[in-house]
Chains A and B, each alone.
Chain A
Amino acid sequence: MMVGNPAMLALDWIAPLAGAVIAASTIPPLLALYFLRLRRSRRVVAATMHWRRAAEDVRANAPFQRLRLSLLLLLQLIALGLVALGIAQPQVDLGLGGAEKIAILIDRSGSMGALDGEADGTRLAQAKEQAVERVRALHGGGLFAGPAPSIMVIAFASEATVLCPFTDSAVQAITAIESIEATDESTAIGGGIELARSFAARGGEDGTANLSVPAVLEVYSDGRIADLEGLSLRDGERVVFHRIGGQDSPNVGVGAIAVTRMPESPGEVRVFARVVSWSKSPRQTDLELRVDGRLLAVTPAPMELAAASPDAATGALLPAQTQAVFPGVQVPAGAVVEVRVTAEDRLPADNAARVVAPRLGGLKIALVGRGSFVLRSVIEGMSPASFESFTLDAWNARLAKDPSAPDAFDVVVLEQVAPQSMARGRYLMFGAAPTGTSIVPFGTKQQVLPRSIRSEHPLLQYVNLDDLFVASMTAVAPGSDSDVVVEASEGPMILTLSRGPLTLVYVSFDPLDSDWPFQRSFVNFTANALAWLAAGGLPAAEEPLSPGAVASGRLPAGAQAPSARSSTGMTPPLSLLEGGRFTLGPLRRAGTATLEWQIGSKSATPTSLAFAVNMDCQTEGRLDAADQLQLATNSIAAQPSRAASQSMWPWLLLAAVGVLLLEWWVWLRRT
């Protein structure tokens, strides 16, 4: 299989026709001029009589003057040849001669924000510049240029985006490249390669592309790509790796942050941070703690960080890590807690990690139904502020006495029971179908497996349902105000419903009828659901998001004029859907994104909800560019920077000028 290799340099011609035209139109006249009128050097001899007769004799015996090898003629032919070659615009290429389709994949992940590009620019800026140069070189032939390859532009980070399908327009490709914006996301190239393959198989814009020829994939990246080991190239597929970034780029970042309220003093939090160093030498750094931007604390002494070292078993480089704790900091609920390292490095984006401070105290939870051991232990493990259990009859009686009884609890958990009224309140419901809602039950289904999982939903954060098996499930039809989160072939397995003061998370099966209680995902799901419901259907904002994530949720009833802003200065995309639902993002940059809305009059104080977005320093923090892309079965060596398509025409024209000067000098010596 052919892969990019520096030894496989080839010469590509941008304008071969122009060079041929020039050569064909100038070299024969030059030779003709030599036949017709030679430039002779003057030389004094004693007497010319013998020369004259000799020349007359030769001329008399030769009907045509034979072309003689003259140094001047030779130099002029060489100069002319160099000019013709220069006009043909050859360029040293990477064995891509004749490529019909080139897919340019540009890495815009977090590590590409490292400031070790040219002139201290970012790697992404350097990658874009090189890619633009490459496109210009491929399409730089002008009128006489040969057929240029079609170019596709794909930007990839945690997911790939086609910015420009295969096109013959260099302007379009360059515009697409220049439009690439930096992200702080993790890196995965698999989606980009699949996109390139599918577009190449689909043909060009006009459908005339040769479908039998796979696209050449030119990857501009630092090579730190997470999913390489699961990829392999197909027959005839070629990849060129343009390595961006240097080999030694020390970096220190905050790898993780967590905030917990202190039980004895709910107004205070304890902040945990893990500091990660990818530097190959020991480093020191201070840690700052900021709350809503205000500096509250600094570590009393610089933290010592060992050097990153290879793993003894695998040989893979592992970062040095150390923990830090800020105890007893007074932080209000919803405030943004930020931990920042002060050490200078090449990647600013991972120097800080943020988290939204959790609400004061625990949740008030009511459990209605049989109160199984599984569910009870999960709830009790979350240290709720209060936890009461009710039978269905007791709960119905309480509702009958006070319809607003559910409001006394942050979340009411219904286990295999449906109360007589669910007009208001926040419910996590298992098994039995809800009453008085748009959800319509229509029987039971056996042996159900999840088929569609919206893993980006806040309810499913850290929830893996791949191994979930449900023996028996209530089949329901969701209403228009429902939002299906997990779906089986037989119907929704988990859905949410929000209608006025009612917010519901409905799990259509009894956990005891499945193997879910034996999986960690059950605990995580329950915790997510309780937090989500307690926040009024808003995401569990206390959990930091990864760059590229989309925050979604439902605005409270009566929310008006929602708007979004970001700490990076850019406005994140905010989409408002039916039923007050919203999506915010994707949030591609590390920092905080804030959603604001008003309830009541326009002059009312806006309510805000902050989302913390942190770069994954464990993967994106490693900045030493890779020498090669190590795929499952292929190894693609990095091309030297800018060597991918070195234009030769300036050197050829320079050589032509040199040869002309030499010819002039020889001519002067002879005359």
Chain B
Amino acid sequence: MNEPGTIDDLLDSRLMAHLDRLDVVSKKIFSGKIHGERRSRRRGQSVEFADFRNYSHGDDLRFVDWNIYARLDRLFLKMFLEEEDLSMVIAVDASASMDFGTPNKMHYARRLAMALGYIGLVNNNRVSLFSFSDDRIERLTGLRGRRRTREMGQWLLNLQPGGTADFAAACRAIALGGQGRGVLLLLSDFLFPDGFEKGLRSIAGRGFDVYALQLLAPDEIDPARHGVLGDLRLVDSESAAEVEVTASSAVVGQYRERLDAHIASLREYCVRRNIAHQVVETSLQLETLLVDYLRRRGLLA
């Protein structure tokens, strides 16, 4: 997968046509800031009836149920479920470890973020984008509507991977970012030297409907099949630390066990905190991921 250079590279028209039919679904119902296309706990102005209440002075006469008034001679006000906008936060790990693999994890994350953001924008949700690397957190917030697609795409194109991710700090910043509660999509490989627990913990308590999409390249999942064999000096892309490894079948097998344990521990941690976790191999077609995998997981409908 080549590095996307244009917005079309991030989201082509064919995929766009598929995405137009999708919407982001939240397992939780959040109160939005403005009227949107999503049910809200608030009673509002949607067409979906919720309840009646006695009319009180100052209520909007348009919502008085005149049929009941005719029968009972009392004023009742019809209450409808408020349809509010959904806050959709997409956080992209832009650390150096993401700039790795074939297909490249960062390229894949950009395209995935673009696709998810597009779905949010098309459905009039409030879309916010975060990226984090080193102690720097980039953000693009308050996007709404299809016309902000280009702006979002340009922001994603400008993302430059590098440095070491401080996942905990990034999560804390997102949680306190005032974007409102909503769907939080974490696009990362979750290969944080300091662990992922602290970061996820800071998010889990904030009422987000969190999706942890763990991006891993095929080289990482099965290194032996991709030429990682023999006597190697492995260099950490983030810390530049070197490890001398003789990648025998035993060592590679041990690595696979370590990686599987890491994935399993992340999944267990997420399940315990009601966070959806999905491992995404970057060789997977984006369309398949969106239309098949994420729909099955309930993120998209």
Contacts and interface: CB of A to CB of B under 8 A. Distances in A.
A44 B100 contact: yes
Contacts of B252: 54
Interface in A30-79: 38-55, 57-58, 65-66, 68, 70-72
B220 to A, nearest CB: 6
A40 B236 contact: no
Contacts of A45: 100, 219-220, 228, 234-237
Interface centre among B235, B236, B242 (most CB of A within 10 A): B236
Contact of A40 (B239, B244, B258): B244
A294 interface: no
Contacts of B244: 38, 40, 55
Nearest to B223: A45
B39 interface: no
A136 to B, nearest CB: 45
A670 interface: yes
A666 to B, nearest CB: 10
Given A41-B233, A54-B258, A58-B250, A46 B100 contact: yes
A44 B238 CA distance: 10
A43 B235 contact: yes
Contacts of A57: 254
Nearest to A71: B230
B237 A51 contact: no
Contact of A42 (B105, B233, B248): B233
Nearest to A49: B193
B189 interface: yes
A46 B237 contact: yes
A314 to B, nearest CB: 72
B32 to A, nearest CB: 38
Interface string B220-255: 100000001011111111110111111010111011
Given A41-B231, A47-B193, A55 B217 contact: no
B259 A50 contact: yes
B101 interface: yes
Nearest to B240: A44
A52 B243 contact: yes
B191 A47 contact: yes
Interface string B192-234: 0100000000000000000000000101100000001011111
Most buried by A among B101, B230, B236, B244: B230
A42 B254 contact: no
A65 B247 CA distance: 12
Nearest to A42: B233
Contacts of B21: none
B231 A50 contact: no
B97 interface: yes
A48 B259 CA distance: 11
Contacts of A44: 100, 234-235, 237
B235 A42 contact: yes
A55 B251 CA distance: 6
A43 B228 CA distance: 9
A451 to B, nearest CB: 88
Contacts of A50: 255, 258-259, 262
A416 to B, nearest CB: 110
Interface size class of A (residues with CB under 8 A): 20 to 34
Contacts of B251: 51, 54-55, 58
Contacts of A71: 230
Contacts of B189: 46-47
Contact of A58 (B217, B242, B254, B262): B254
Given A47-B238, A49-B193, A55 B245 contact: yes
B31 to A, nearest CB: 39
Contacts of A66: 248
A57 B258 CA distance: 10
B247 to A, nearest CB: 8
A559 B229 CA distance: 99
Contact of B246 (A48, A49, A65, A72): A65
Contacts of B245: 51-52, 54-55
A670 B230 contact: yes
A300 to B, nearest CB: 89
A42 to B, nearest CB: 5
A38 B219 CA distance: 23
Nearest to B238: A47
Nearest to B245: A55
B224 to A, nearest CB: 12
Contacts of B220: 45-46
A51 B243 contact: yes
Interface in B146-191: 189, 191
A57 B256 CA distance: 12
A38 B105 CA distance: 31
A46 B97 contact: yes
A54 B255 contact: yes
A664 to B, nearest CB: 16
A58 to B, nearest CB: 5
B231 A53 contact: no
Given A43-B235, A45-B236, A51-B243, A68 B248 contact: yes
A72 B229 CA distance: 12
A38 B243 contact: no
Nearest to B216: A46
23 contacts: A38-B231, A38-B244, A40-B244, A41-B231, A41-B232, A43-B233, A44-B234, A45-B235, A45-B236, A46-B98, A46-B101, A46-B191, A46-B220, A47-B238, A50-B258, A51-B251, A51-B255, A54-B251, A54-B258, A55-B251, A58-B248, A65-B246, A70-B230
The 9 lowest CB-CB distance pairs between A and B, nearest first, are A54-B254, A46-B100, A46-B97, A50-B258, A54-B255, A47-B191, A38-B231, A48-B236, A40-B233
Given A38-B231, A54-B257, 12 more contacts: A40-B233, A41-B230, A42-B233, A44-B234, A46-B98, A47-B238, A48-B234, A49-B236, A54-B254, A58-B251, A58-B254, A670-B230
Interface of A: 38-55, 57-58, 65-66, 68, 70-72, 670
